[in-house]
Amino acid sequence: MDFTSDISGGVSSPRAVGGPGIQLHPKGSGSDGSDSRNSSLLGESDRKRLALMDKREQLLAQRDAMLRDLDTLKQELRRPVAAGPRETASAMPRRQADENAAKMLIDLMLLSRSDSGGPADQTTAESRVRVDGGSGLQEELLLKYDTLPVLNMRLRLKYLTKVLYPYLTLHVVELDAQTVSLECVFKRNAASPLQLLLELQYSSRQEVLRSLRVKHVSPGHHLALQPLLDGCTQNVSVLLFTCNEYNRLVYERDQLRVALRNKFQARLHYDESHLSGSITLRDLRNERALLVEMPIVFDQQYCGFLYPRMQIRLQLTRGQAAVDDVDINGILYRLMEEYGVQDALVDLITYAMLTV
């Protein structure tokens, strides 16, 4: 018998090897089926955890590589580099700039390392950025990355005195547990300085001001400041700011009176009142008189608190009768808008008293 056909047929036919209804699978197909079954047994949270663990291992490897690079950079920076004979003068600034860039990179890497180190490092960073008014200026500037005012109390007082209160001096007269007696002197006007004596009562436990009382005011300014003292006795900042502006207006009014006196004293009879801040110019030949009133008043028209402003009013008389046919105040206001206060007054007085 010839068995060749039976053997070749048995090998070539899968049904002959596997039997009826049985199919052979390629090598490795059984392992793939087991992996798919195992993955189906894992939940969504387990797969995410495994992915995060892989990511963590990658990040830790990157961090270790960056730390090794950091150590290498530190060693290179510590090693002195001698300038070779071929290194030109133009290459020196470039090498210095590269070293500065390397130092900046190291600082940034150290900062990122300290900020991402963990809860302990975060607690240290939070405690490091807590600065207050008593902290040093350089310590605060090293940790400052915003445009808010600095908290350093010495620097704030320095610029507050220099810019806002250049002519104010403060002196503590009496100090105890809950009361402070403070002497404030505004020396812008040397001829008539403004002096206030304040008594402040505060709660040391709650750190709040309980009461403010003005015990003394300079005799020459008490009447003018009376509206302010009646309506602003619970805010020290507003009181000092308003008194400073009042003292500035008094100084400018005195300067204006001096300028008018020097200009017209030789040709007109000149009288002035320091109490009301007014001056009177008389032409005795024509029996004309011009009263220039410059009172300083307090109102709340422009601010939410009492604020001083100076008014200028003119009154022209001939003999005993007032001259009402000319709106001299309206003319003055239009001249002040065009030329300023002093030039407007000089031109109007010259026209009203020496020309007409």
Please answer whether residues 308 and 245 qualify as being in contact, where contact means their C-beta atoms are separated by less than 8 angstroms.
yes
Asked which of 187, 220, 247 is the last residue of a domain, the reply is: 247
pLDDT of 312 above 90: yes
pLDDT of 16 above 60: no
> Does pTM surpass 0.75?
no
User: In angstroms, what CA-CA distances link 181 with 173, 174, 256?
Assistant: 5, 5, 35
Domain of 199, CATH number, reads: 3.10.450
> Which of helix, strand or coil describes residue 104?
helix
User: What's the structural domain count of the chain?
Assistant: 2
Q: How many residues does the chain have?
A: 356
**Percent over 70 (pLDDT), the chain:** 72
Residue 239 and residue 264 in one domain:
no
Asked which of 247, 276, 293 is the last residue of a domain, the reply is: 247
Asked which of 223, 247, 271 is the last residue of a domain, the reply is: 247
Residue 266 and residue 321 in one domain:
yes
Of residues 128 and 231, which shows the higher confidence score? 231
Please list the helix, strand and coil fractions of the chain in percent, rounded to the nearest 5, in that order: 50, 20, 30
Residue 303 and residue 235 in one domain:
no
Residue 200 lies in a domain: yes
DSSP string, 183-225: EEEE-SSSSS-EEEEEEEEEETTTTEEEEEEEEEE-TTTTTTT
Residue 253 lies in a domain: yes
Residue 194 and residue 243 in one domain:
yes
The token duo for 152 is 């350093």
Query: What is residue 10's predicted lDDT score, i.e. its pLDDT?
Result: 43
Give the pLDDT band (50/70/90) at residue 74: confident
Residue 279 lies in a domain: yes
Instruction: Note the pLDDT tens digit of each residue in 80-121.
Output: 655 555 545 555 555 565 666 666 666 666 665 554 444 444
Of residues 96 and 296, which shows the higher confidence score? 296
Calpha distance 195→218 (Å, rounded): 5
Where in the sequence is the domain holding 243, given as residue range(s)?
153-247
Of residues 9 and 172, which shows the higher confidence score? 172
Query: What is residue 300's predicted lDDT score, i.e. its pLDDT?
Result: 77
The token duo for 251 is 């100084």
What mean pLDDT comes out for the span 11-39? Answer: 44
Partner residues linked to 211 by β-bridges: 201
Residue 267 and residue 205 in one domain:
no
Residue 264 and residue 350 in one domain:
yes
Taking alpha carbons only, the member of 34, 12, 35 closest to residue 24 is 12
Provide the angle, in degrees to the nearest 10, between the axes of the packed helices 119-128 and 91-115: 110
What mean pLDDT comes out for the span 124-147? Answer: 69
Instruction: Note the pLDDT tens digit of each residue in 194-245.
Output: 999 999 888 877 778 888 889 999 988 888 898 888 776 678 888 899 999 9
Residue 180 and residue 238 in one domain:
yes
What mean pLDDT comes out for the span 256-276? Answer: 88
Backbone angles phi, psi at 263, to 5 degrees: -80, -40
> Which of helix, strand or coil describes residue 266?
coil
Query: What is residue 205's predicted lDDT score, i.e. its pLDDT?
Result: 77
Query: What is residue 262's predicted lDDT score, i.e. its pLDDT?
Result: 92
